[in-house]
């Protein structure tokens, strides 16, 4: 996954709120656990269209315990779906399990 360097770091909503872009959050390399709308690390909103950031974009850094808890909860969620869900969705669930396991591996160090 390539993140364009020229992408703006912030979106401004109709209400005038500043929202960090996915590109900015990806370049930062870790989750702040503030449940950012465009978080590339944790699917805080359980959006079925959400895709994880490429593994090479995740940096080794310390993150908040809240982010670790969010990743663990997401990992358990997708493990349950993998074992008890429909077979046609297993590949997606496996991809999500690998993503969240990778985050835990990087963020524990």
* pLDDT tens digits, 26-53: 998 889 999 999 999 999 988 888 999 9
Positive/negative CA dihedral, 80, 83, 88, 92: positive
Distance separating alpha carbons of residues 34 and 32, to the nearest angstrom: 6
* pLDDT tens digits, 47-105: 888 999 998 888 877 788 999 999 999 999 999 999 997 888 899 999 999 999 999 99
What pTM does this model have?
0.79
């Amino acid at each position: 996954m390539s993140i364009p360097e020229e992408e703006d770091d912030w979106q401004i909503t109709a209400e005038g709120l500043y929202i960090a872009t996915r590109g900015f959050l990806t370049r930062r390399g870790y989750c702040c656990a503030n449940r950012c709308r465009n978080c590339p690390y944790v699917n805080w909103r359980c959006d079925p269209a959400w895709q994880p950031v490429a593994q090479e974009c995740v940096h080794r850094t310390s993150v908040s315990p809240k982010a670790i808890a969010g990743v663990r909860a997401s990992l358990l969620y997708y493990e349950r779906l993998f074992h008890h869900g429909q077979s046609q969705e297993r590949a997606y669930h496996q991809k999500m399990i690998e993503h969240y396991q990778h985050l835990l591996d990087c963020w524990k160090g």
